[in-house]
Chain A
Amino acid sequence: MDRRTFLKHCLTSGLAIGAGLAFPVFGRAAAPVRGEENVRIRSAAARIPDLVAVRGAEPERMFDHAISALGGMERFVKRGQTVVIKPNVSWNVEPEKGATTNPVLISRIAEHCFQAGARKVYVFDHTLDSWQLAYRTTGMTRHVRAAGAELVPGNSETYYQKTRVPGATTLETVGIHELVLESDVFINVPILKQHGSTLITCALKNLMGVVWDRNFYHYRGLHQCIADFPLARKPDLNVVDAYLVMKSGGPRGTSYRTVIEPMKTQIVSPDIVAADSAAALTWGSDASAVPYIGMAERHGYGVSDLDMLAIQRIVL
């Protein structure tokens, strides 16, 4: 009941703010819609959207709205379960450089998990820069600890377990961090950025941070390996941090080529392909321009055609 009221509040306030705006849907003209009617229902039974897109507030607040629109964290995390959150903390840069996931968002997600009854919440990334420096500089250490979650190092091979990837085209086996394999719930929290070799990096690409040998990806076919990975372990929830979006100069973003735009957006979906598809569009490109999204869709674990999905938009 509460959730429903809350959801309605969100929608109405969103509508109020965006009253003057047209509501075109993905390049196609579409008639403005009201209330829950703009939610395209894929299956008649589903009242909960497949994907929620929020815009116009701080990341943690956008997540509050998004997760309640998706039915609350209780839908994903059951009492007594363990959760692993995978942000992008790859770089030793400050959070305002837009290269790493917002740390406050991570702590808010962890809080939601605890409220839903999670026994333990782990946060880690297999960083490219030194993990001690990256965890500290990005603000992850401080915020994750404040939320009561555990920040775990990802830079030790001993934690990675060789796993078969059923149905993979290229990535037949891969060493995956045991927390990803052992935890009950896997939450993927990428930051949306331009990427020099894959056009964008987002939810699917972020999963390169839970494997040990990334060189295999680069050497044997980056796009195909990225698309193969979720066959081994698909995240239960994807939260795309598109608050600060690196439009170019990614993914590290410390060079003069870097352009960062405050997009103040968040995309949340259990469907990793849908999340990436919407993220690509948010960045400014059709999903078809990003080969790994298409490859992932062909594996059948997600849908990239946003018209096929029930999408809820929230403007704050």
Chain B
Amino acid sequence: MTAPRGRRAWRYRFAAQLLVMGGFITVFIAGGKIADALLLPLPRGQLVPAVIRAIFTGGIGLTLFLFLLVLFTFIFGRFYCGALCPLGIYQDIVRWVTGRIKNVKFSYRSPRRVLHYLVLAATVISVGCGTLLVLNLIEPYALFGRIVRDFLVPAVGLTSRVLHPLLKEIGVYTAPSTPSYTAATFAAGVVALLLLTWAGARYGRGFCNTFCPTGALLSLLSRRSLFRISVDSNLCTSCGVCEGVCRAGCLSAKYKRSDPESCVLCLTCLGSCRFGALFYAWRGGGKSKRNGVPDHHEEFPASPGLSRRNFLTAAGAAALGAIGVLSVPRKTLLSKTRFRSVAPDGSRNTPAAPPGAESIARFTSLCVSCHLCVSRCPTSVLQPSLLEYGPGGILQPTMDYARGFCEYECHLCGTVCPTGAILPLPLELKKRTQIGTAELLESRCVVFTRGTACGACAEVCPTGAAHMIPYQGYVTRPVTDDSICIGCGNCEYACPVPDGKAIYVRGGKTHSVKEMPEAIGVPAGPENRPENAPAPRNDGGENGFAF
């Protein structure tokens, strides 16, 4: 009996997967230097974000990266699904855990190629129609990101809320993270996670080979991959052990073949074969390895409905559909977009997109709703939208000033965004980028309705757009200045009026950069440093504390 080949291969794969998973979770939850360093290889190395970035931002490095990804998939098969996709990794972890509890046997499934490629076609068409919704719902990286933000982030937050009174008992004061989630999104996260866990345990990589658009695309590329899992038919006894462990359902013991189109290179089969009949090699290892036994390829059952002709027809139809839709002027499609934000006075409002989005139209056509920005936003102002951007923009993040305000000294969302939907504006530029303007509703404002001093809005305004001017006696009243308002929502968040604020941000469909007046009187330069300045002489005067 030959020594089993690649007995340990799956362990290396699994170790690499755990590292990648740990990296993704660090990027989404922790932040810090390590997370910053991992941004480039992990979220930005994801296929769909990288494609979007390459199309709209360009860049030689990115193009080269995508070229290599395609080339390596041609050569090695779907290594991306096996090692880089966080959703795939999660399903493998589920498989590993459940496999230790109860070993569910998989079996060869005639691939549901038509369904899978139709999903891909539908995705492409919907993108052509100007909505990323279909893509965003099933794109694996985005799906993973939303599960992290809807489940893991709240879970961490809830744990800290439970722990912190206990910690306080031992004299450790902590602040539990501010809940940036709602019961509904948490429930959605739990449901998505349960579904995925169930599917992973029951069907292995069934999602990847049935619904995943990225998987479909990579299947196309790996149809004729040069390296693939093959069976030495002289050694194979068709015992079916490998078929039972194949989570992708691509191994057939009967036909002694693996199907590279479905194979996600988990390599589990290699170690499972007692006869060492399985190997991962160039085109199945060549004739010598097979001892002259002809390639079984021709005998491999054609999956129902998937002859090459069928596939070409489907792909052609998809391409035609996409071209047709793309040829419709984008403007007509977007102009139909109805924003559903509502101002406190009941009027229709435009939602605000994060600074760096440039315009709502641009943002909604680039954002894959991975919610990395939502997870990392320090003030929780970035929240998944519902219908604010219209039905086509469901889940894409919007500024929710009821939950937070856009921190003036922060541009994190732009620096983490993997698709370039939120551009990484330099902080200085972000501070001058107007994403909306504040509208004061005097009919609701405390100063006007009650005649008492308030000024909560002006107090927090970072640019001086909202400021107080004399009103009655010592009471001052707020006014806003659109020319320097950046729409950060500090005022809206701070406004104390219950049941609908007296000042709110009217989002801008298109963002613009404002010129800010020069600051006056802030000491700058060493000669103006206070320790070098003389103490004021106190010769009294009308007002002043005399020394």
In the bound complex, do residue A92 and residue B407 qualify as a contact, i.e. CB atoms below 8 Å apart?
yes
In the bound complex, do residue A252 and residue B494 qualify as a contact, i.e. CB atoms below 8 Å apart?
no
Residue A310 at the B interface, CB < 8 A? no
Residue B184 at the A interface, CB < 8 A? no
In the bound complex, do residue B540 and residue A284 qualify as a contact, i.e. CB atoms below 8 Å apart?
no
Minimum Cβ distance to chain A for residue B427 (Å) = 12
A267→B547 CA distance, assembly (Å): 12
Query: Which residues of chain B have C-beta atoms less than 8 A from A158's C-beta?
Result: 161, 164-165, 176
In the bound complex, do residue A256 and residue B520 qualify as a contact, i.e. CB atoms below 8 Å apart?
yes
In the bound complex, do residue A219 and residue B498 qualify as a contact, i.e. CB atoms below 8 Å apart?
yes
- Chain A binder among B192-200, B335-343, B448-456: B448-456
Evaluate whether A21 and B547 lie within 8 angstroms (CB atoms) in the complex, with A256-B516, A258-B519 already known: yes
Closest to B173 in A: A152
In the bound complex, do residue A132 and residue B547 qualify as a contact, i.e. CB atoms below 8 Å apart?
no
In the bound complex, do residue B462 and residue A254 qualify as a contact, i.e. CB atoms below 8 Å apart?
yes
CB < 8 Å neighbour of B462 from A22, A58, A255: A255
In the bound complex, do residue B446 and residue A219 qualify as a contact, i.e. CB atoms below 8 Å apart?
yes
Of A92, A197, A251, which is in contact with the most chain B CB atoms at under 10 Å from its CB? A197
Interface of A is mostly: mixed
In the bound complex, do residue B452 and residue A282 qualify as a contact, i.e. CB atoms below 8 Å apart?
no
A223→B544 CA distance, assembly (Å): 23
Closest to B540 in A: A24
In the bound complex, do residue A197 and residue B453 qualify as a contact, i.e. CB atoms below 8 Å apart?
yes
Evaluate whether A26 and B545 lie within 8 angstroms (CB atoms) in the complex, with A195-B459, A196-B458, A252-B462 already known: yes
Residue B169 at the A interface, CB < 8 A? no
CB < 8 Å neighbour of A260 from B467, B516, B521, B537: B521
Minimum Cβ distance to chain B for residue A184 (Å) = 15
CB < 8 Å neighbour of A255 from B476, B519, B535: B519
Evaluate whether A197 and B458 lie within 8 angstroms (CB atoms) in the complex, with A18-B547, A281-B545 already known: yes
A3→B460 CA distance, assembly (Å): 43
Evaluate whether A218 and B456 lie within 8 angstroms (CB atoms) in the complex, with A21-B538, A92-B407 already known: yes
Evaluate whether A219 and B461 lie within 8 angstroms (CB atoms) in the complex, with A133-B410, A247-B521 already known: no
Residue B178 at the A interface, CB < 8 A? yes
Minimum Cβ distance to chain B for residue A54 (Å) = 9
Residue A53 at the B interface, CB < 8 A? yes
Contact with B along A287-314 (1 / 0, CB 8 A): 0010100000000000000000000010
Evaluate whether A24 and B520 lie within 8 angstroms (CB atoms) in the complex, with A196-B458, A197-B455, A222-B452 already known: no
In the bound complex, do residue A128 and residue B460 qualify as a contact, i.e. CB atoms below 8 Å apart?
yes
Closest to B516 in A: A256
Minimum Cβ distance to chain A for residue B518 (Å) = 6
Query: Which residues of chain A have C-beta atoms less than 8 A from B517's C-beta?
Result: 256
User: Chain B, interface size: which category?
Assistant: 35 or more
Number of A positions contacting B (CB below 8 A): 81
In the bound complex, do residue B519 and residue A243 qualify as a contact, i.e. CB atoms below 8 Å apart?
no
Evaluate whether A130 and B407 lie within 8 angstroms (CB atoms) in the complex, with A264-B536, A282-B544 already known: yes
A247→B458 CA distance, assembly (Å): 16
Minimum Cβ distance to chain B for residue A87 (Å) = 16
Closest to B464 in A: A255
Closest to A282 in B: B545
A158→B174 CA distance, assembly (Å): 11
Contact with A along B147-170 (1 / 0, CB 8 A): 000000000000001001100000
In the bound complex, do residue B530 and residue A262 qualify as a contact, i.e. CB atoms below 8 Å apart?
yes
Query: Which residues of chain B have C-beta atoms less than 8 A from A215's C-beta?
Result: 456, 496, 498
CB < 8 Å neighbour of B408 from A92, A243, A262: A92
Contact with B along A84-117 (1 / 0, CB 8 A): 0000000011001110000000000000000000
In the bound complex, do residue B530 and residue A155 qualify as a contact, i.e. CB atoms below 8 Å apart?
no
Closest to A249 in B: B464
Evaluate whether A257 and B464 lie within 8 angstroms (CB atoms) in the complex, with A152-B173, A218-B496 already known: yes
Query: Which residues of chain A have C-beta atoms less than 8 A from B484's C-beta?
Result: 256
Closest to A94 in B: B409
Residue B285 at the A interface, CB < 8 A? no
A-B contact pairs, 11 of them (CB 8 A): A22-B539, A122-B173, A133-B409, A154-B175, A196-B476, A219-B454, A249-B464, A256-B517, A285-B543, A313-B547, A315-B535
Given A120-B171, A197-B476, 14 more pairs with CB closer than 8 A = A24-B539, A55-B535, A92-B409, A96-B529, A133-B409, A156-B164, A196-B476, A198-B455, A243-B530, A244-B523, A256-B517, A263-B535, A284-B543, A289-B474
Query: 4 smallest A-B Cβ distances: which pairs?
Result: A197-B455, A255-B464, A153-B175, A259-B521
